[in-house]
Structure 1
Amino acid sequence: MKKIYRFLFAGVLALCATGCSSSLLDIENPNEVTNTTFWKSADDAKAGVNACYSFLYKEGTWMRWLSFRYDLSSDEGWSSSPWIELGDWTRFLYNNYDFYEGNKVHWEHFYVGIFRCNQVLANVPAIEMDEVQKNQLLAQASFLRALWYFQINLLWEKGTLVLEPQNADYIPKDASEQEIWDQIEKDLTFAMENLPEAWDAADLGRATKGAAKALLGKAYMQQHKYDRAKEQLQWLIDREGSLYGLLDNREDNFTDLNENNQEGIFEIQFDDQNKGGTGNDASMAFGFQRTQFYAPGGTHGTGWGDGKARRWLVDEFLKERRVDGRNDLRLYNSILYKHFGDDFPDQSKKYYANEDASQWFDEWGQDTEDCYIRKYNTSYYREREDYFARNNYRIMRYADVLLSYAECLVETGTLASDAAVYVDKVRERAGLSKLKDSRWKDCLSSKEVFIKRLQMERALELCFEGWRWADLKRWGLLDSQAGIDELKARDKDFNNFVIGKHKRMPIPTSEVEISKIDDVPQLTQNPNY
């Protein structure tokens, strides 16, 4: 059941002033919702929190453009969009810093999401209501605020730290990456202390204690605080078999057939209903729009193919077969390429309308090297794509926790052979052998070799799930020429990458301009822009 997306914050009703006298304009509108008339009851508090969740359904977040940022700016994918400027923003060719779809939409929607969370955190404490319920609502707002600030640090490595509701006169000022991480830690600590381990069916999709701990673990990892991250992730692993676990069928993580399951730690509750528009009004769209941009076109696909996979991923998948001799089904579920059908002859669904992939590539003159992102597409239940896919997007899932925990273990002194136990859980679910019995067995010889193998294991399990950019930053591959050379070999877009500049995006110019006092910006531009 999908519940969260159904609840929207009540909009403000405007009084039309056209043709009205000045005295009439002074009359108080009894229908207007304001801070004075709202925030009175437990129902108001819950409605306010639901308004915070609604910003998960905005173009600047995972609904649409954030996938472009994380998937296509990393070495996993690239943009083939005919919209040149859109593609340039995945190739580190940043010219117009206010380009909406490439930069400003993220900044705008993250901070409006933060504004809504701040309203809850400022107003709900004064409401007379059950204290447990109150703290659960405050914890959800804290979790979501931390989620938005996490994205701000990943993209810009700085921002403005706003912790209270502000009016239009607010002047943004610099907050460092570390100041933002510190606030993320505070918000997630409060969230994990006050959120339940699970919700009942009526509230599925809300943040849980496990979601807060998983995100806090990721925040610690990005700061290389591996000992603290290990502690948070351990909590989830200790609950394997009760709250969390790997699904037998991994593909269920990317369809709507088994949502909010034991592997999903935090999911955006998408639906295919079209209410029209994605703005601030109550007529929002709730569909997952990424599939339209990533799916191939042609007679049956009806996608745009604006985002494609890099071929190296296909080649890496094909380097190792399952213990039963077949190719890794994670490739089948993740990427469409010319010889897709040849590599998976026992799979009934080749492509939309069961057309063979090789035939389709030939008919449409596609380059053999072209690879389309298949993960999350809707070919499992229909023969087209549009803006309204109904499958949930899993921001965090348990397979990621296992791989992250293995990284934390080896980074804090655990032997690679012991850390490999958690990697093997993911590999064996995919039908592969344990690392010690695989062609990669030498990776158990040292921490350094194990980490390099773990980097590839994460790519194969988690490709196109939005975490590769964070991984590249954490591993330092964006900070050295050796790292950039490694990425260039997989993704030619990194030929444009400038060390010390492109691991962070430019602050939108308009945001810098509005922060000026006596022509001196209080929110300064990132280095080298």
Structure 2
Amino acid sequence: MKKIIITTTVLIGLLFTSSCDNELVQSNPNSLTTEQYWKTESDAQAGVNSIYAMSYKDGLWARWIYFRLDLTSDEGYSNSPWIELADWTRFNYINYNFWEGNVVTWRDTYKAIFRCNQVIANVPNISFQNEDDKKKIIAQAKFLRAMHYYYAAVLWENIPIVLEPSSPTDLPVQKNVTEVWAQIETDLNEAFIDLPPQWGADQTGRPDKGAAKAFLAKTYMQQRKWPEAKLALEYLITGAGARYSLVSNYRDNFTDVNENNSESVFEIQFGDQRKGGTGEGQSAAVSSNRAQFFAPRSIGWSDGQARMWIVDAFKEERNKDNDLDVRLRYTLFYPGLFADFGDKTYNKNWEWGNEAWFRKGSRDYYRDNEDYFSQVNYRLIRYADILLRYAEVLNETGNTADAYQYVDMVRARVNLEKLAIVHPEIGIDKAKFLERLKIERVLELTGESVRWEDLKRWGDLNTQTSVDKIALRDPDFNNFVVGKNHRLPIPQVEVENNPNLDQHLEY
């Protein structure tokens, strides 16, 4: 299925003009003011496309957000020679203005929100031949605003909520994270109404009703609103949006061979057709840098890698044919990969020594190195994640017995026995089921940017006892301070420039 790559970037409202020469006619379209723009349907479409283009910025899905979501969790870490970069994956936050660790992700998050707000505020005033097309554009902007606020809430928690087009002199007021979650819920519920059940093949990559419900479920789960999360997930599993299925080949979720498949609920669309940087120029790349930064030594920059305990977790159980779980093969590069799976087809340049590295999203299946221009889409939400989440909410709402079948659907794809047969000791014990589900999520979703929010949702970062258990498998958590490091410090430059914004007290 063809994927949409958003290549249009418009600088709407970012450039303000002031001149005593009122007769000057602006002929450069990049210098249009907000008043001159927002007149036609094409303006509206370009405006919403500019929001998608934010995925290709280095503070977000092009590069640095993975360091916060994957490497800060117990799945990953950094041995980068760039000490400060590595320190920000092991809770050694000294300079709160560290660009790569904090400021650029904050900047690009609010830049994306600014673009969303421009669309939401201005598109209603544009005449459309088809009003449904207008509604879909506004709904996309609300979905994307909710998505960016979701990750901001996970990372920083108490932040400003900006819902109108802003100006450089604005001083937005900081809100409690509970208010942030409430705004995300509002945006997603409103977006759901006007998003289509499914886009046509020429619009693949835009969020539909299923994507809105999936993010709504995630939002409810982070607040432990289990009944609400259950209803949202049922739309995707048994309700009107139940059109998803697991693909037979697990690895098809992590290459460019079978993107936007039946398992994809929402994914970031990447391409390699442009070789520019991550700025706003015409040659700006629409690629992912993740593979370049997470590749094994001698292949890429090797700034991020995986913990070896994950390999051990995979090897605790063999499948029905007494073989290793095939997900291990396609999740990690690790010592023994060749011996375990008897496959010598990998390029000889892909060497990883005695360390483990994330393999998902790598391009070893057709090339012998990585670069800044990976075209492999990033699956932000897959159906396997939805199934495991549904099992979690069933368990939390007293339906543990019913939860097994959804874990078993994920296990069956890789030929594993039913969970109740392998672990009869769990029974319908809620706590034991959750502990096992934590492992099931690692086996299925390692390196997919969900582990940090999982740890927060489960309360595993809330007590010294639970953090000490994490530190046994990830020694970086010996630096973790309970009540502090569950969220990032707000960039200090933002605090100093906005009297309505306070640094978190623990920092």
TM-score by length of 2: 0.95
Q: Which moved more, 1:372-381 or 1:466-475?
A: 372-381
Q: Is the 8 A contact 1:139 1:192 kept in 2?
A: yes
For the pair 1:419 / 2:416, whether they are aligned, the reply is no
Residue type at the aligned position of 1:187? D
For the pair 1:309 / 2:306, whether they are aligned, the reply is yes
In the alignment, the residues of structure 2 paired with residue 324 and residue 241 of structure 1 have an alpha-carbon distance, to the nearest angstrom, of: 35
Residue type at the aligned position of 1:212? A
Instruction: Quote the offset at 1:188 in angstroms.
Output: 0.1
Matches within 5 A, 1:60-209: 60-129=59-128, 130-209=130-209
Instruction: Quote the offset at 1:417 in angstroms.
Output: 2.6
Hey, what does 2:368 align to over in structure 1?
383
Matches within 5 A, 1:66-465: 66-129=65-128, 130-238=130-238, 243-298=243-298, 302-345=299-342, 347-349=343-345, 351-353=346-348, 360=351, 366=353, 368=354, 370-414=355-399, 416-438=400-422, 440-465=423-448
Hey, what does 2:505 align to over in structure 1?
527
Gaps of 5+ in 1: 517-521
In the alignment, the residues of structure 1 paired with residue 369 and residue 240 of structure 2 have an alpha-carbon distance, to the nearest angstrom, of: 37
Residue type at the aligned position of 1:91? R
Q: 1:13 to 1:95 in 2, by over 3 A?
A: closer
Q: Which moved more, 1:108-117 or 1:288-297?
A: 288-297
In the alignment, the residues of structure 2 paired with residue 418 and residue 348 of structure 1 have an alpha-carbon distance, to the nearest angstrom, of: 42
For the pair 1:508 / 2:507, whether they are aligned, the reply is no
Q: 1:94 to 1:400 in 2, by over 3 A?
A: same
In the alignment, the residues of structure 1 paired with residue 178 and residue 14 of structure 2 have an alpha-carbon distance, to the nearest angstrom, of: 41
Residue type at the aligned position of 1:431? N
Residue type at the aligned position of 2:347? Y
Q: Is the 8 A contact 2:268 2:379 kept in 1?
A: yes
SS in 1 for 2:426: helix
In the alignment, the residues of structure 2 paired with residue 99 and residue 87 of structure 1 have an alpha-carbon distance, to the nearest angstrom, of: 12
Q: 1:494 aligns with which of 430, 452, 477?
A: 477
In the alignment, the residues of structure 1 paired with residue 3 and residue 301 of structure 2 have an alpha-carbon distance, to the nearest angstrom, of: 30
Residue type at the aligned position of 1:76? E
In the alignment, the residues of structure 2 paired with residue 59 and residue 115 of structure 1 have an alpha-carbon distance, to the nearest angstrom, of: 17
Instruction: Quote the offset at 1:264 in angstroms.
Output: 0.5
Q: Which moved more, 1:279-288 or 1:265-274?
A: 279-288
Gaps of 5+ in 2: none
Percent identity, please: 49
In the alignment, the residues of structure 2 paired with residue 149 and residue 67 of structure 1 have an alpha-carbon distance, to the nearest angstrom, of: 16
CA RMSD of aligned residues (A): 2.0
Instruction: Quote the offset at 1:80 in angstroms.
Output: 1.0
Q: Is the 8 A contact 1:58 1:278 kept in 2?
A: yes
CA shift digits 1:236-259 (9 cap, x unpaired): 012699620100111100011111
Q: 1:527 to 1:13 in 2, by over 3 A?
A: closer
**Number of positions where the alignment pairs a residue of Structure 1 with one of Structure 2:** 502
Instruction: Quote the offset at 1:23 in angstroms.
Output: 7.3
Q: 1:43 to 1:217 in 2, by over 3 A?
A: same
Q: 1:383 to 1:487 in 2, by over 3 A?
A: same
In the alignment, the residues of structure 2 paired with residue 238 and residue 229 of structure 1 have an alpha-carbon distance, to the nearest angstrom, of: 14
In the alignment, the residues of structure 2 paired with residue 487 and residue 69 of structure 1 have an alpha-carbon distance, to the nearest angstrom, of: 17
SS in 2 for 1:442: coil
Residue type at the aligned position of 1:159? I
CA shift digits 1:130-157 (9 cap, x unpaired): 2211111111000000001001110011
